[in-house]
Structure 1
Amino acid sequence: MSDPIYRPGLSAVPAFEAEGNSSASAEGSTGVPPGAGRRPVQNAAAITSRLRHAIEAGEYSKGDQLPPERDLAERFGAARSTVRRALDRLERAGLVSRKVGSGTFVTWSGGLDRLEDISDAVSPLQLVEMRFAIEPYMSELAVLHATRKDLESMSALLDRLERLEHDKDAFSEWDAEFHLSLAQASRNPLIVYIYRQINEVRLHAQWNAQKEKTLHPARIATYNRQHRAIFDALCQRDAETVKTLLREHLELARTDLIANNSD
């Protein structure tokens, strides 16, 4: 999945990777799960399951529009009435909302609407502790499962990050997206779900003060060098180095937070 979520300036439609097939990019253009065009799925329940998995795995974010019925029908090899029944089931489950004349939109937020309280309660140091708990193993899975498209997407993110040394807000946003891309490359939907919530907390308003203290151009440049080293090790499929570099990256973030809190 080279670009599975909407971000400003990038594709608004999830790109599903087709395993072992060079036609993945064509399938990705309609946001249909891998293999749908090659292995027709006629049953409405099966289509519902595939689309539900795509939504709950984070391939579609709240507010994203699903492909039109005709595109889904073609890709799944099913009648439009069958696709319509599948979308009806998703709507009854509270995952999507259907608007006549406009299309089908994701309404499921994975619990993110309930994060306001926890965002207020979690301190920056506690969040870094959570990241220490999840990111090293997450990165090891990324080494095992990252595709060429994943690596291309990460490279594009790094190129953008390296142009943002003087823009704290934009750096924070795209730094969160780079780490999320590692989660997505793990191919573990639960890790993606958890990391999206971590990013919601990271980008909460209470972090503005920390950002102002920490993200000066020299420190952003250091973080970017660390990002690049992590990416290079990932490209080499060197899991131990990736984990070591990621722990060093998080340790620097923790050290900066401790220094800020001691001022």
Structure 2
Amino acid sequence: MKGLDQFQVITTDRLYVKIAEQLRSLIEAEVYNPGDRFPAERALAEKLGVSRPTIREAMIALEISGIIEIRSGSGIYVSDKKSVPTLQLTDKGIGPFDILEMRYALEPEICALAAQRITDEQIQRLNQLIKEMEVEEKQPNSSEKADGEFHMLIAEASQNSAMYQSVKWLWDLRNKSVLSDSFLKVIREEGVHPSIDDHKKIASALAQRNPERALVAMKNHIDNATVNAARHFEK
């Protein structure tokens, strides 16, 4: 049919992909050359008019594609240019910082509701999961399975099916995302694991049936997880 060859396929690239493509185009145009240091995260966010989490996720995409490298104690640098033209940046799923932001908005309120409705058996199971997390933390290739079960159990304890499904959806997004999975493997190798102490504080607040403490404990936990993950870019 006339003109059909002029149409382009519609894509659903996420914002971090568009930012990563723009940064890569600057490398290909030799605005940044091999060994050059990228501007700081805050400066990039302000210049591009996006959030710092979006910049982080663009950097994750560039790093796992081999376009940039993060040097300990120094910053983010352009890697060997020979590899750049052959690399394809694609939508690799929802990024870890987007997921953490959504969890921060959602899970503390769910935790507060769970504090009012949780059963003794569920509290016992939470404490058992913390013990399993302590074992997982010592494994070189820990799956963080117990961590996920811990959060899903709290959502279940809220006795709200919509909340439970929302938390399940977020964890499914995390587990199915190439971007999130790749980044989590990197920071685990750097020694970043789910905080056992944070989980104990959450379980304690729930055991006391204290909604206010439960909300704050969950907020602090997700905030700490975000800060620890972001340290990857500040090494």
TM-score, normalization: structure 2? 0.56
Is residue 145–residue 187 contact of structure 1 (8 Å, CA) maintained in 2? yes
Task: Give the letter aligned to residue 131 of structure 2.
Answer: D
Contact 1:158 1:227 in 2 (8 A): yes
1-structure distance, mates of 2:190, 2:146:
15
- Judged with a 3 Å threshold, the aligned counterparts in structure 2 of structure 1 residues 209 and 262 are, in CA distance, closer, same or farther, namely farther
- Structure 2 equivalent of residue 211 of structure 1: 184
Supply the distance in 2 between the matched residues of 1:177 and 1:140 (Cα, whole angstroms).
18
Matched, 1:167 2:136: no
The match for 1:254 among 220, 226, 235 is: 226
Asked whether the 8 Å contact 1:136–1:246 carries over to 2, the reply is yes
Deviations 1:120-172 (A, max 9, x none): 44211110111011101000111010011111221221111111112365442
Q: 1:154 to 1:225 in 2, by over 3 A?
A: same
Higher normalized helix content (fraction of residues): 2
Report the RMSD for the aligned CA atoms in angstroms. Answer: 2.2
In the alignment, structure 2 segments of 5+ residues that lack a partner are 1-90
Tell me the distance in 2 between the aligned counterparts of 1:156 and 1:169: 21
Q: Which runs of 5+ in 1 are unaligned?
A: 1-118
1:162-184 deviations in Å (ceiling 9; x for gaps): 11112365442221111111100
Please name the residue that 1:82 is paired with. none
Q: Is the 8 A contact 2:95 2:179 kept in 1?
A: no
**3-state SS of the aligned residue for 2:135?**
coil
Shift in alpha-carbon separation, 1:217–1:152, aligned structure 2, 3 A:
farther
- Cα distance in 1 for residues equivalent to 2:209 and 2:143: 26
Greater gyration radius: 2
* Cα deviations by residue, 1:224-257 (Å, 9 ceiling, x for unpaired): 1110111011101122111111111111111123
What is the aligned length?
144
Equivalent residue in structure 1 for 2:116, among 144, 155, 168: 144
**Aligned position for 2:217:** 245
Shift of the 218–203 alpha-carbon distance from structure 1 to 2, 3 Å rule, reads: same
Residue-by-residue CA offset, 1:86-143 (whole Å, 9 max, x unaligned): xxxxxxxxxxxxxxxxxxxxxxxxxxxxxxxxx9442111101110111010001110
Q: Distance in 2 between matches of 1:216 and 1:242?
A: 30
Flag the 1:230–1:154 CA change in 2: closer, same or farther, 3 A: same
Who is 2:207 aligned against?
235
